A and B are shown apart, each in its own frame.
Chain A
């Protein structure tokens, strides 16, 4: 599996990071950085632990009295470690990143469109949101949020199957794009609810 990616060939450094050859390590993908297999289903606790450990190791405070080169490197590493953690922690960002490793850009403008049925459903939900907002109907917003949560869970399951089992990148990219719509809608529903609650 995964022979195409040159990752995991360098052991994760434990201490004394910056005198080591940083250029080489910097090329690692985010999964390898945290010692995880490049899969959609991840051990969240392991990610959390690896992140904390690495974060402590590269923290700029540790290098405040070191030469400028090391200070700069520690800064770059801290940024990279944070970005890697944010990416792997969120399912959609993780899926986008995994597909990116396979050479698929889900945000490409020429990417295949999601189905018309899905878009028609989106439109219905957008209408429901507009209606609930217009009538200041918090209960309707909550109901909508619940449906969207369910939809997001279903899509996350689809992503896991497509990425980890079927290895069907096109199906995964399609599910990821649908999840983008759902998350945007969830965000807008949350915003509308916050306005009503305030």
Chain B
């Protein structure tokens, strides 16, 4: 499989590899995977007080395209609101990285990871609001 220069670049110098503390209230964690190829992707966002995603981390076990796709989206989500992050489409990722058709599923995985991370953050905060209201009430 011939990788594009952009995939190789992200593969050799992945951005934002690592983890945030999962239980941190500011952090949203998305876990996704592809059964067919065994790829597993964890993507985390850290949201600032202003509601903007201030930082992101990822950890991906999978092929070069999966690693490049997740590396790329961690760069893209920074500075965005949660809703803006949700507008990232796999087609944009595939286009940016010049992914061949057989690797499109890697970009879908990255899009799903962002969605899952945002959902986790929102879920956490929904729950926390309820808990706070309960404590006050």
Write the residues of chain A forming the contact surface with B, with a CB cutoff of 8 angstroms.
Answer: 106-107, 109, 113-114, 116, 119-120, 122-123, 126-127, 130, 177-178, 180-181, 184-185, 188
Contact = CB atoms under 8 A, between A and B. Distances in A.
Interface stretch (B32-40, B46-54, B72-80): B32-40
Nearest to B105: A109
Contact of A180 (B35, B61, B112, B116): B35
Nearest to B30: A116
Contacts of B42: 119-120, 123
Interface of B: 31-33, 35-38, 40, 42, 59, 61, 105, 108, 112, 116
A120 B38 contact: no
Given A113-B33, A114-B35, 15 more contacts: A106-B35, A107-B35, A107-B36, A109-B108, A119-B31, A119-B32, A123-B59, A123-B61, A126-B61, A127-B61, A178-B35, A180-B35, A181-B38, A184-B38, A185-B38
A177 B40 contact: no
Contacts of A122: 33, 38, 40, 61
Contacts of A106: 35
- Chain A facing B: main interface SS: helix
A177 B35 contact: yes
B38 A114 contact: no
Contacts of B108: 109
16 contacts: A107-B36, A109-B105, A113-B112, A114-B33, A116-B31, A119-B31, A119-B40, A122-B33, A122-B40, A123-B61, A126-B40, A126-B61, A127-B61, A177-B35, A184-B35, A185-B38
A120 B35 contact: no
Nearest to A188: B38
Q: Which of B31, B32, B112 has the most CB of A within 10 A?
A: B31
